[in-house]
Structure 1
Amino acid sequence: LQAKFQELEKEMDSILLETKTTEREIYLLDDAIEVTKHHCENLEAQVRALYSENLKLRHDVETVQREFEMTCARNNEYREKIKAHKHLFWEMESKMPVMIELAKKKAVVQELKTKKEELMPDLQNPEASVIKQVQEEITLLKREITTLKEYINQKTDLLEEEEKMHAKLRKEIEVHNKRYNAILKRLHCQLNKCHSNKRQWHWNIQQLEKKAAELRKCLGEAE
């Protein structure tokens, strides 16, 4: 009986040692679970902060998009006005007295050229009054034509300046589009990374809880 008693005591000591070891493992797992949960809570707080920041950035992007659309609408309206202005300008210019006068002067120049050809035999006499009169009229017409050309050049310069301004606006719009696309791409990457990390943390917690449950079950069977 004493031998059996001693054997039972050894078995009890072994069971107690195993129980203490199991309890220590459970405590360690509980601590690890608490640490992991705390870490997950911190990460979830970070995720919420990132989500709030994403919402704010999305709101900012929507605001900028609305401003961009308004700018495009204003640009389209401006283009239509410029188009109408150009059409009206050319229409009015064609009816301007100076343009009508230019056409008349061109006709006169052509007529004078014809007269000049007819008077070629008299060109040998530079003192002829008819030749002088024709030369004076031609000189006057050339001056008027030069003045009209300068006026047309000024109008052409104005139109070129407007075209340069339109090109500058198009470049600014392209730069804004590239910047907004880069912001959206970065936000999508951050959000996907947060979701992936969250799924990994939940899986780790489930594995730890599963292992702790198994250890508790073993402890219960040992008792």
Structure 2
Amino acid sequence: EMAKQNSPSLAEVVKRVAEQQQSQVSDIEKRKAVLFQLQAKCQQLEKEMNSILLETKTTEREIHLQDDAIEVKKYQCENLEAQVRALYSENLKLRCDAERAQEEFEMILARNNEYREKIKAHKHLFWEMESKMPVMIELAKKKAVVEELKTKKEELTCDLQNPEGSVIKQVQEEITLLKTEITTLKDFIDKKTDLLEEEKKKHAKLRKEIEVQNKRYDAILKRLHCQLNKVHSNKRQWHWNIQQLEKKAAELRKCLGVAELQNI
């Protein structure tokens, strides 16, 4: 009995076993959760590592591209340096050519100035000789006439601008005469227009009468044509009748000739 009392009962054993199993299941679940977390973290770390590797490759590619670009730039710089040296040499040559051209230009300018002075002296001498020529004297006279005409033109312009000027009065008188002539011509034209209208009316009346006469003559002409056609028809009929009578007369003559022969 003491042993029975000291030994646990079956229910307690089952309960303990169940509690142990429950504890083990809980531990397993916790470990699974930790495992899932570790797996997720591991996947995240793998993704980050892949991303870092990709960035590293991209960076290496960019470094290679930059190295190539640096080489290209270096080559371009060398070419530019060569071009600069060539341009510097060409500039030196051009400077020498420019200095030589400047010297030649100064020499040509000096010769041109000397030639210009000679031309000026020659022109002055020519003008002096030309002013004494008859043609130039005549030209001077014509210039004086032109100046005089210009003066008269200015005087006439001033006179035209003055309402009381003689030219204005003369023009006004001419305008009055022209107006009178225009009025006379208008009256004459009006009279001629009236006469023309009367003539038009007469012509219209005559045209109507002529149309009536033409219609009458057309009717007469048609009637005459009909009569002429009838005459032609009668003529043909008469001609046919005459031919028939001539045939009968010929037959009668034959008959008479035969009768006379028989009587003989």
TM-score bracket, shorter-length normalisation? 0.3 to 0.5
**Relative contact order (alpha carbons < 8 A, sep ≥ 6): 1 or 2 greater?**
1
Larger Rg belongs to? 2
Given the two structures, how large is their TM-score scaled by the length of structure 1? 0.38
